[in-house]
Amino acid sequence: MSNLQGKVALVTGCGNAEGIGWATALRLAHDGADIAIHGRPEAEDDTRELGVTVAGFGRRAFRVTADLGREVDVTKMVDQALQHFGRIDILVNNAALLGPLKPALELVGRDWDSAWYTNVRGAFVCAREAAKTMINQGSGVIINVVSGNHPGQQDALVYNATKAALLSITHSLAAELSPQGVRVNAVAPGWVDSPISDSLRGGKQQPQRRQARPIQAKAWPAAPEDVAAAIVFLASEDAQQITDRIVHVGKEP
């Protein structure tokens, strides 16, 4: 277990109990961090439940609601978390929209809007605003959840493109912020039993994943908790010399 006592983490996309954001918030709290829990307005009941669970670890929880596709909402969200806790040490850019699932030649311009504004611009604005306070603190960690789907999933061009853009942002921010004490890395989930992965593959996969796995684990999906473990490692002091890196979690079937 890493020691994150005294740290504050802002985790976006925590509105689904089966998702990576939820698992990450729980693991960070378990390891000692206080959590700013982000969810969309329609996920208020879920984020409230998560906040209760975080408090059960003896950690402080603060729920923030924002549409990450709106820059003003993102800026307000980060400011609210900062005002509540007084600092932000860890940002996990996990929230994402899947976007339309259809062949590339059927895509039109507006098909890009919601996913691009949330997955790319929204994540960047989160990082920009969090980095400002991290620089003032002299340290901080930004972890972007990208995609380990290689080759790109068919009919998911918009989603895959937004995640590729976020990876590029990761590299650029790492180069710019490293001299100022801020580490920036990415975690790339492959085959993970999560809502987005299930949607990409046309439905729920491998419902027995939590039973004993065969020796050849690559035939099974990773759990959201596996991704959370990688994120928490990158957020910890054990990874203090790691920046501008991608950690892949899970294999393709």
Structure tokens at 33: 């961090």
DSSP string, 224-239: HHHHHHHHHHHHSGGG
The H or E element that residue 136 is part of is helix 123-137
Amino acid at the residue 246: I
Q: How far apart are CA 2 and CA 232, in angstroms?
A: 8
Active-site annotation holder among 76, 159, 204, 251: 159
How many Å apart are CA 112 and CA 179, to the nearest integer? Answer: 34
- Identify whether 159 is a catalytic site residue: yes
163 assigned to active site: yes
User: Would you list the DSSP string of 54-96?
Assistant: HHHTT--EEEEE--TTSHHHHHHHHHHHHHHHS---EEEE---
Residue in 8, 31, 168 with CA at minimum distance from that of residue 91? 8
The CA distance from 211 to 213, in Å, is: 6
CA gap 97, 250 in Å, rounded = 20
Catalytic choice (102, 132, 163, 204): 163
Report the catalytic residues.
159, 163
